[in-house]
Chain A
Amino acid sequence: MSSLFAQLRIREDTADSCVADNGFCPDWIADNFDRFVDPFWEHVYLTVVAVAIGFVISFALAIVAYRRRWLINPITQATGVLYTIPSIAAFFLLLPLTGRGKTTALIALVAYVLLIIFRNILTGLDNVPDETKDAGRGMGLTDRQLLWRVEIPLALPEIMAGLRIAVTTTVGLATLAFFAGAGGLGGQIFSDINFKSNVVVAGGLAVLLAAVLDGLILLAQRAVTPWTRAVAAR
């Protein structure tokens, strides 16, 4: 386990003075880009799986709390504590219970996003105008139909906004997942923190991933929110 924390130089001895000087070397990056590929996909996996699981749990919590208002405070406080505990600490607090690996990293990352998504879903549902709900009831919708056909669709912009915050935050936190033995771009950064080429490429890929995932959710939001299309389909 301790070998993980030894500062390994990821470069072979070389005559290239740029590499020897820890510089930013386009040639080295071009020749060694494949070493960033696996950590990148590990990072994608951690982010997508953590946000997906986090979404499912928060969605269930939000639906339950929407109907039973007294649950909002306890759920907010419990997820608030999980949100406040730094994920680097959470990884090590979980190690004795779940061992090293992706499971531990995912539990900590899921715990972190619950509050963000829960709060946004609830805000979205609360912001649905009463007249719209009354109109739905007047048309004879049951509570469940009202929820799935009126309230959730109208809450989608806030729900998606929550997902965007969750996904960019998780990309950042997943850079620390290597402490839990789950790999990712953070491990690559940590492997040679003084080498500019390494830090810029690995860090740059993380920023890029955050931007791409954020953009994808924004596109998805545009695709699912035009209510007119949903009405026409019905």
Chain B
Amino acid sequence: MSTTLAVLGEFGNAIDFIFNERESPAGGTQVGGLAELWELMWEHLKLSGAAMGVACALSIPLGLWLGHIGKGGFLAINASNVGRAVPSLALIAFFVAYLGVGFTNLLLALVLLAIPPILTNTYTAVRQVDRDTVDAARGMGMTGAQIVRRVELPLALPLIFGGIRISAVNVVATATIAPLAGVLTLGDPIINVNTYGDEGRLAAAIVVAFLAVVTEVSLAGLQRSVTPRGLKLNRRERTT
């Protein structure tokens, strides 16, 4: 019974850390509280959002194009296998050792981490579009670009979002070790435990876990909302 209370005590203390600032165990400064955690979270979101934006801008057009012409499947499919085999910590350490610390270098590392699932899913999604549908679109006189934009993309959208979901959760998780590269995200209390104390570290872990679950749930919702629209578009084009 007493251990249960002690356990609750640690979690309770961590939650208190999220809402109220306190003196750092290292002395001198105040740590914790909503204002500081919001600041760390904002940096976390900025970094993750930027990495996802760049990764999407690079890999979705490439995946659509490769899928449309039906070439480069080996590259697109093995990107995921290779990407999975490279540990995120090793990738970030490699960037730090060779390019140095900083937002841009870290962003590059996270973009590399985020590309493979989106690229693989986009390619696979386009290849899975019914060939008869594409032929029908071509028979209606659509150009290649029109087929990509009005037929293949809408039909591929749910699976592309699946890839974005995998990448986004992974990037949010990996942004936790960003302080190793000098960017102060929610991982700062985890890495600099001397400044924030054990309760600060536990508090950061709670917020990171929460952020990852929120990312997953909201992107899953978005994925569902794009699915019927794609199918509706497809139906309309078939009837006209």
Q: Footprint of B on A, CB under 8 Å?
A: 1-2, 5, 22, 80-81, 84-93, 95-97, 165, 168-169, 171-176, 179, 185-186, 189-190, 193-196, 198-200, 202-203, 206-207, 210-211, 214
Contact = CB atoms under 8 A, between A and B. Distances in A.
Contacts of A179: 190
Interface string B8-25: 001100000000000000
A200 B177 CA distance: 18
A5 B192 CA distance: 7
Interface of B: 6-7, 10-11, 81, 84-91, 93-94, 96-98, 169, 172-174, 176-177, 180, 187, 190-194, 198, 201-202, 204-206, 208-209, 212-213, 216
B190 A186 contact: no
Contacts of A80: 216
Contacts of A91: 205
A203 B94 contact: yes
25 contacts: A1-B193, A1-B198, A2-B194, A5-B191, A5-B192, A86-B173, A87-B173, A88-B177, A89-B173, A93-B202, A93-B206, A165-B84, A172-B88, A174-B87, A175-B89, A189-B90, A190-B89, A193-B96, A193-B97, A194-B96, A195-B97, A199-B94, A203-B94, A207-B85, A214-B85
Contacts of B96: 193-194, 199
Given A88-B176, A88-B190, A202-B90, A169 B209 contact: no
A86 B192 contact: no
Contact of A172 (B7, B87, B191): B87
Nearest to A169: B84
Contacts of B205: 88-93
Contacts of B192: 5
A174 B173 CA distance: 14
Given A88-B190, A199-B93, A81 B87 contact: no
B194 A89 contact: no
Contacts of A171: 85, 87
B89 A93 contact: no
A141 to B, nearest CB: 35
Given A88-B208, A92-B190, A193 B180 contact: yes
